[in-house]
Structure 1
Amino acid sequence: MFSALWNAASGMEAQQTNLDVITNNMANVNTTAYKRQRANFQDLMYQTMVPPGESQSLLGNQSPTGLQVGLGVRAGSVQKIFLQGSFRQTGSPLDVAIQGNGFLQVRLPDGRIAYTRDGTLNIDGKGRLVNSDGQLVDPPVSIPPNAKTVTISGDGEITVNLPGQIRPTRIGQLVLAQFINPAGLESRGNNLYMETQASGAPQLSNPGVNGAGHLLPGFLEASNVNVAEELVNMVIGQRAYQMDATGIRTVNQMLGYTASL
């Protein structure tokens, strides 16, 4: 009887985690290049009274199924779903969307490299190419102060038009990092990810080479959150939470009946 209380309590805790993940997805529906998350659940250990296949009678008959009672559920992991988001045109020549696999690299203030799908790029006061938080793009790119226009091509080549020159001048190259398991990246907020042992080491290549995606200049990748799907999942999670709470009330009533005998 008491195990039923703990089972229902574990279900409520698991559904709370599920709803936390869903609401975070919905909160980031307009976040550039956000990748939706999914809570994965696992059943807990089982109390085995009769193992499957063991004899449970004097006649020596084997139990075809056994007798095992589960002890609840837990959230096993929260997984990033790296499906492609839609594209929205911005008109900014420094904005780039990644069509396909890969992450842009930015250098953090402590010198470490972080990875992002957010291609909102800008030029800082020193003429360096940075992300929206002012972190340097890696490899670094410096824009000449007298540049008339800056162009980023689909293969990541960065060129500028300088006074007195007919042809564009190449000043840098954007590279993309690919991971064997991008779901293993550590989310750091601010649209940034960090390498982990689970993700594997980054494989660097130019856009469009070795399976890396192409860049779409003048576009940004939108979130891949499907609001209708998240609303349905929220209703399912809410009902599951309510049923677990009802289970606790039911067991409490049964214990009350037993105590009053």
Structure 2
Amino acid sequence: MRALKIAATGMSAQQMRVETISNNLANMSTTGYNARRAEFSDLHYQQMSRPGTVNAADGTILPTGVQLGLGVRPSAVTVHLAQGSLSATGGDLDVAIEGRGFLEVTMPSGLSAYTRDGSLKRDADGLIVTSDGFPVQPEITIPTDARSISINADGEIYAYFADVPEPELLGQLTLATFANAKGLEATGANLFLETEASGPPNVTDPGSDGTGILRQGYLEDSSVDAVREVTELIEAQRGYELNAKVITAADQMLSATTQIR
């Protein structure tokens, strides 16, 4: 009976791995998306004979003992932080982060969220916002009569006006970094929230304190490696099938036992 339960935990683990891979493949075209990886650890071991104990028969020390594992469990789904390739878009408000860092935005609840999706927009009041309408911090407003804007690598935003030779500085974008960026909580819509695991944000200007720089007219592609994901999908499928065969074999053994006269 123990083999049935152990194989069931293996099938459940491989199912979770397939779901993680499915999410990665579904986000192959998501701007700034980083692939996730399911991680597992073995369950508690039943100590039939503990290593290092004295053998009652002759008094010798058991070198290994008998430890029966009880299966596998999910331990984490971690984010593989990797720089995605940059695609040229030519958009004035499209900015890619080359290196570490997240743009800070304000949610309707007032909480701060963080994103690497630099496909920014301008709302009806000229405020720079995300595709979902969340204002980017610090708030920067583009005048309605601005002919064009320029964003340099340091995050400074300049506006050009007709009949004015020199551009006007509107403000500067900042980037937030975290001691443990993998500890951020993903909320969807390319947004992350600060957690106890991530630590507080360190907000600085782009290009300083190890943060990345901004590239105007570019967007960061997803870092998903399709070939690797499909390979792992095949491995997960085969792992699921092998655990299913264990259940079949255990069932046949139990069936043979019940037929003993």
For the aligned pair, the TM-score class normalised by the smaller chain equals over 0.9
Aligned-pair CA distance for 1:165: 2.2
Point out where structure 1 has 5 or more consecutive residues left out of the alignment.
none
Report the equivalent of 2:101: 102
RMSD value, Cα: 0.7
Report the equivalent of 1:144: 143
Report the equivalent of 2:189: 190
The correspondence of residues 1-261 of structure 1 with structure 2, limited to 5 A, is: 2-261=1-260
| Aligned residue pairs, count | 260
CA displacement, residues 37-68 of structure 1 (integer Å, 9 cap, x when unaligned): 00000000000011111112422111111110
TM-score under structure 2 length normalisation:
0.98
Q: Tell me how far apart the structure 2 counterparts of residues 56 and 248 of structure 1 sit (CA, whole Å).
A: 34
Q: Tell me how far apart the structure 2 counterparts of residues 40 and 173 of structure 1 sit (CA, whole Å).
A: 39
Q: Tell me how far apart the structure 2 counterparts of residues 110 and 71 of structure 1 sit (CA, whole Å).
A: 44
Aligned-pair CA distance for 1:163: 3.1
CA displacement, residues 137-157 of structure 1 (integer Å, 9 cap, x when unaligned): 111000111111111111000
Q: Tell me how far apart the structure 1 counterparts of residues 220 and 158 of structure 2 sit (CA, whole Å).
A: 22
Point out where structure 2 has 5 or more consecutive residues left out of the alignment.
none
Quick check: 177-186 or 155-164, which moved more? Answer: 155-164
Q: Which amino acid in the other structure matches residue 128 of structure 1?
A: L
Aligned-pair CA distance for 1:254: 0.4
Q: Tell me how far apart the structure 2 counterparts of residues 127 and 217 of structure 1 sit (CA, whole Å).
A: 18
Quick check: 156-165 or 22-31, which moved more? Answer: 156-165
CA displacement, residues 205-249 of structure 1 (integer Å, 9 cap, x when unaligned): 000000000111110000000000000000000000000001001
CA displacement, residues 165-199 of structure 1 (integer Å, 9 cap, x when unaligned): 22110011100000000000000000000000000
Q: Tell me how far apart the structure 2 counterparts of residues 149 and 58 of structure 1 sit (CA, whole Å).
A: 89
Matched residue SS, 1:24: helix
Q: Tell me how far apart the structure 1 counterparts of residues 84 and 161 of structure 2 sit (CA, whole Å).
A: 35
Q: Tell me how far apart the structure 2 counterparts of residues 89 and 161 of structure 1 sit (CA, whole Å).
A: 22
* Matched-pair contact (CA < 8 Å) for 1:50–1:56: no
TM-score under structure 1 length normalisation:
0.98
Matched residue SS, 1:141: coil
Q: Tell me how far apart the structure 1 counterparts of residues 164 and 227 of structure 2 sit (CA, whole Å).
A: 53
* Matched-pair contact (CA < 8 Å) for 1:185–1:199: yes
Matched residue SS, 1:183: helix
